[in-house]
Structure 1
């Protein structure tokens, strides 16, 4: 699996954005984006490779209840986006950095909420039982990688946001509604895995 993931990174590709499906969006040229990093953790679990995701706590001010990768803002003390992603994954789901093999960076993703996200693709080695940090994470769960790699599982939906209809990717799995930036990053990875 790591070799296939490395090949996917070599296929190149442009940065993605929450604005990809909304070409009429006018972005201020002087906008300031905040730096963030997420870990895209692929884990060889029972029955094959799976991706570890989180459901954000419902009491959070930003993105409550949404499905997300472990990750967050890059702090001044973080040596790199990779360090930030590993720190956040350890804080949010108890993933020890020593159990993670970093594979590389996927293209940047700009969110509608003003972040430039560095998705860090990684392999998680050995047994792992996520321990959600209750303050931020309601649940940690896994999705079969094969489900996420099948482009037929993705669709485009829309909703009214700040008075404007916005389109976005979704890739539902069971009771989990995976959408927005998380679905867009996964869609880009699925495209690269097919190249």
Structure 2
């Protein structure tokens, strides 16, 4: 798959200094440095998620959503905005993932995509259990707009997490899920971030040099709502990258 650094939707200039290492890491990191699950040569359900970085009241931050507690699958789980590519998004090998990430983020949070400067993508990652091929799209929120759940039946909350919390060793650990998954976890905003979302955050922090030493033996407990409710409808936030 072509890295979307070749897409005309990307804008490189105008980033704050603290995001420059993130961009550099995204442009050089190899797929196998992010996950042991690599996309198949053909097929897969193409999707994209948006890692939207901003400057909030508490400094640099990342936009996350919480799935509605009424959903049958992964109720209450924290994830990035995003979803499957539609025909309107274009070629999954070209600009399609960028278009899908921005469209889905707007549909879920109400943000204005015109205020988002997409500056890089990560290599596409694979979630075998759901056959999702997920492209993480990295954006800078250069012109912020109000955000909130657009459809409460799908999105329970929209919130911003300071990078200072995500890099805080006291808030980091590993989870062990009854289904067999294990991987990085973050305790932020009175929530536990785990699975695919935590795995991507963990790798971005590590390869961009923002990571601080943390105790990998510390176990973070998952709430009862974190257990998968449906094996067939898993979203890109349901699996781990480890």
TM-score normalized by the length of structure 2: 0.69
Q: CA deviation at 1:60?
A: 1.9
| Corresponding residue number in structure 2 for 1:118 | 135
| Corresponding residue number in structure 1 for 2:182 | 167
Unmatched 5+ residue regions in structure 1? 21-28
TM-superposition CA deviations, 1:163-195 (whole Å, max 9, x none): xx2212211114111000000000110011118
| Corresponding residue number in structure 1 for 2:176 | 158
| Corresponding residue number in structure 2 for 1:136 | 154
Corresponding position: 1:81 with 2:92: no
1:100, 1:183 → 2: CA distance?
Answer: 22
Q: CA deviation at 1:33?
A: 2.6
What SS does structure 2 have at the residue aligned with 1:171?
Answer: strand
2:124, 2:87 → 1: CA distance?
Answer: 19
| Corresponding residue number in structure 2 for 1:9 | 26
1:45, 1:129 → 2: CA distance?
Answer: 12
**How many corresponding residue pairs?**
184
Q: CA deviation at 1:157?
A: 1.7
| Corresponding residue number in structure 1 for 2:72 | 61
Corresponding position: 1:35 with 2:46: yes
1:150, 1:108 → 2: CA distance?
Answer: 27
Corresponding position: 1:185 with 2:170: no
1:10, 1:105 → 2: CA distance?
Answer: 8
TM-superposition CA deviations, 1:126-179 (whole Å, max 9, x none): 343212122311100010013224567432221222xxx221221111411100
TM-score normalized by the length of structure 1: 0.84
Structure with greater strand percent: 1
Q: Name the Cα RMSD after superposition.
A: 2.4
Q: CA deviation at 1:101?
A: 0.1
Deviates more, 1:87-96 or 1:168-177: 168-177
Structure 1 residues 116 and 6: CA distance shift in structure 2, 3 A: same
